[in-house]
Structure 1
Amino acid sequence: MTNSLLSSSDWSFPVPIAYGPGRIAEIAVLCRQNGMQKPLVVTDRGSASLPFVASLLDCLEGVGLGRALYSEISPNPRDTEIAGGKAMFRSGGHDGIVAIGGGSGMDGGKAIALTATNDLDLWAFEFEQPAPNMSAHPAFPPLITIPTTAGTGAETESTAMITDTQRWMKWCVWHAELKPALALLDPEITIGLPPNLTAWTGADALVHAIEAYVVPGFHPLCDGAALEALRLISRWLPDAVEDPANLEARGGMLVGSCLAGVAFLKGLGLVHALSHMVGAEYDTHHGLTNAILLPSVLRFNAPSIEAQIAPMAQAMGLPDTRFDTFDKAICTMLDDLGIPETLAEIGVPPDCADRVAAKAMEDSAAGTNPRQLSASEVRAVLLDAIEMGR
């Protein structure tokens, strides 16, 4: 696996994927191959001044593709910011989008792509609503996604989590006809990620793999991706945090994150239902919030996920397959990664529990949690994560 992680590979599932160290240098060729002559690069505010964005813009400008950048994307992207990106896409006469960054940058780019060439309201694309018929509208613009963290797994689908600034809730927007034309996975551009962000985004990928695997239902493709993601993440995340320049670890995490993102097409669970709403209200880092919530949700879901514990424990190489061993391994990993024990430590107060729990019950991920939920149970789990944690 190590040698493979240092080599270039092209994959066609579930969308075209170009993997390999240094492949961001191919971006201009890849844009042209996918029909872009004047791409708009979209990223988040925190990434806008980082070297990989400058390198990407230089590559585009060097062959006459311009260097247009929209970076007004918050850590938890907002509907107003998507509207600003749509306006820039149209006023600049752009013909494609390159979304680069962590989950926020890619979600921002994907949401802009959903709305850039039509006059539909962003919330017409909300996941739980009937999908708009696009036959009377221009095609979605071509979209290239480039993850710069190994965490969100957002690069292979059109789904994007956006904050509704009227209700201060997060909603998932998407459309089946918008697929990334290409996902570019270059582990070299993740090397500069600080250890804390490596840990937080890596923990996000860990949660994706676990939550996707325990979602009820028969989906062997997603289950296989989830278990391989869990194997890679548990193997490489500690190394990536301890030795940020370890290219094998960065590659293993980038592939593991991508697989976990594929896996959660099956669904997610209560960790995400709560994390989305906590993030919408308190602007907390999504991966960090997920990591803190995970132990409380695992304990709540334990009676409903007994059959899934053994395969997950085996994927992690644990000595036995009891729930207590699995739970302890997860908590130990979070300790070693420096994850705070409670949500209170990142500014989430107990008095939000009723309000946030009610919002979480409306989240799509609540509907695929392996254990049925009541508002009082969700409130209790949230309070446990705020006050007790792991």
Structure 2
Amino acid sequence: MPLSPIEHDLLAPQDWTFPVPIAYGPGRLSEMGTRCAAMGLRNPLIVTDRGSRDLPFIGGLQEVLAGAGLASDVFSGISPNPRDDEIGAGRAMYREGSHDAVIAIGGGSAMDGGKAVCLTAANAIDLWDFDFDKTPPDMTGQPAFPPLITIPTTAGTGAETESTGMVTHVARGMKLCVWHPDLKPALALLDPELTVGLPQTLTAWTGADALTHAIEAYSVPGFNPLCDGLALQALTLIGKHLPTAVAEPDNLVARGGMLAGSCLAGIAFLKGLGLVHAISHMVGAEYDTQHGLTNAVILPLVLRFNLPVLGDKPTRMAEAMGQGALSPDAFAAHVESILDGLNIPRTLTEIGVAEDCATRIAAKSIQDVAATTNPRQATEAEIAGLIDAALRKAR
């Protein structure tokens, strides 16, 4: 069967300039050497997570850089849920190696870790001074942030176009957001070939993460047509390509559709997120659960909690996903059917979360910035109730 126009586009190089320079297309990792050299770089630090250190794309990236005459080193001391003590080690490696840029490559943890290292690499400012809830540090008289290049190897986190990163504050046992408005990726490189080797489970979990981003971003109240449009287009791509990417892991069109959809959803949630993430962040901080999987378990309960205040948004989301004008309840059921098809567990206990944690996690979740933009404001007791239900039966 011949490719449709959109399928053809997903297999061709595309260059976008919004909201940062984005290079999309299969095989474009091969351009990294010439692109870095054109930026005047000579010795970037590659930041990735422990699980990715020995995967082929790390060696491939270093070979491409070396081919353009660039040195590089790899910092891989990042956990699946990055910790503040790990960021300090990355900063030390950056300085000791006289590096001049950060290339964050991998899944969401690598993106978050790389961005946090970049925030602190060239200055003496404490990581937690970049807490999203605080006034950003005045960088007058400070060295400029190093150039930041992001290369996602999963289609889910959508973290490649912004400086925000989630890091676990070990002393507080909470996952918090760090950022600075002056730090923007100099380049986001989206190469679908890098996602082809992803296991089915991670394809499903990260894909569910992208789905959650799009739903939560579109559900956030307020007038932001840019983010709303991106969220709906993300749902179109994710709804079409996620089942295929899981069922046919080598399908490059589906991999490309998911990588583009994930990126759009990641931009869309600049508008805000909701209780799925507020809860998931704190569950991940305590129990080191995979973020997309945690989101996927929690999503149905929060979606149904929010339905009474969403108006026609569920219908518009269903239409974007090619389902026609479903009722709000039918849309929620459709999302649940997608999660069933991805073999997402039905309880948090199945992914290692303790049965007695609801009250404690709720007390932390209500402090998360994502709780403030949930479309239906919830009390701490209501959040605890959602967590308790997720522990027993989330859908």
- Which category describes the TM-score, using the shorter chain as reference length? over 0.9
Shift of 1:278: 0.0
Structure 2 counterpart of 1:115: 120
Task: Choose which of 66, 70, 80 in structure 2 pairs with 1:75.
Answer: 80
Shift of 1:29: 1.1
Q: CA deviation at 1:32?
A: 1.8
Gaps of 5+ in 1: none
**Cα deviation, residue 66, structure 1:** 1.6
- Unaligned runs of 5+ residues in structure 2 are 1-5
Q: Which residue number corresponds to residue 242 of structure 2?
A: 237
By how many angstroms is 1:128 displaced? 0.8
Tell whether 2:10 aligns with 1:5: yes
Pick from 161, 167, 183 the counterpart of residue 166 of structure 2: 161
Instruction: Give distance in 1, aligned partners of 2:279 and 2:39.
Output: 37
Shift of 1:67: 3.1
Amino acid in the other structure paired with 1:301: N
How big is each residue's C-alpha offset from its partner over 1:250-281, in whole Å with a ceiling of 9 and x where there is no partner?
Answer: 00000000000000000000000000000000
Partner of 2:333: 328
Partner of 2:150: 145
What is the match of residue 368 of structure 1?
Answer: 373
The answer (yes or no) to whether the contact 2:37–2:68 under 8 Å persists in 1 is no
More off after superposition, 301-310 vs 82-91: 301-310
Q: Distance in 2 between matches of 1:33 and 1:225?
A: 31
Q: Which consecutive aligned stretches of 4+ in structure 1 deviate over 4 angstroms post-superposition?
A: none
1:62: how far off? 2.6
Identity of aligned residues (%): 62
Q: Which residue of 2 aligns with 1:298?
A: 303
Letter in structure 2 aligned against 1:303: P
Match of 2:312 in 1: 307
Selected match of 2:110 from 97, 105, 109: 105
Selected match of 2:207 from 202, 209, 216 = 202
Where do 1:219-238 residues align within 5 Å?
219-238=224-243
Letter in 2 for 1:262: I
Structure 2 SS opposite 1:170: strand
1:36-70 Cα offsets, whole Å, 9 max, x none, are 11100000001110011110011112332123000
Deviation, 1:103, is 0.3
Taking the aligned partners of 1:290 and 1:316, their CA distance within structure 2 comes to: 19
CA distance in structure 2 between the aligned counterparts of 1:343 and 1:30, rounded to whole angstroms: 43
1:51 aligns with 2:64: no
- Is the partner of 1:198 in helix, strand or coil? helix
Question: Could you tell me how far 1:302 is from its partner in structure 2?
Answer: 1.1
- Are 1:359 and 2:364 matched, yes or no? yes
Q: How does 1:217-296 map to 2 (within 5 A)?
A: 217-296=222-301
The corresponding residue for 2:187 is 182
Asked whether the equivalents of residues 34 and 181 of structure 1 are also in contact (C-alpha less than 8 Å), the reply is no
Task: Name the SS for the 1:43 alignment partner.
Answer: strand
Amino acid at match of 2:33: A
- Tell me which residue corresponds to 1:64: 69
Instruction: Give the alignment's Cα RMSD to 1 decimal.
Output: 0.7
Specify the code of the residue in structure 2 equivalent to 1:300. F
Give, in whole Å, the separation in 1 of the partners of 2:323 and 2:330.
8
- 1:25 maps to 2:30: yes
Q: Give the Cα–Cα distance (whole angstroms) in 1 for the partners of residues 356 and 92 of structure 2.
A: 39
- Tell me the distance in 2 between the aligned counterparts of 1:250 and 1:270: 28
How many residue pairs get aligned? The number is: 390
AA matched with 1:377? E
Q: C-alpha distance in 1, partners of 2:23/2:195?
A: 15
Give how far 1:317 is off: 1.3
Alignment of 1:81-100 (within 5 A): 81-100=86-105
Distance 1:32 1:108 in 2: 24
SS at match of 1:229: helix
Aligned mates of 1:116, 1:103 — CA distance in 2: 20
The aligned runs of 1:332-351 (5 Å cut-off) are: 332-351=337-356
Within 1, Cα distance between the matches of 2:301 and 2:104?
Answer: 33
Normalised TM-score (structure 2): 0.98
- Distance of 1:42 and 1:180 partners within structure 2: 14
TM-score (norm 1): 0.99
Q: Determine if contact 2:34/2:68 at 8 Å carries over to the other structure.
A: no
SS in 1 for 2:77: coil
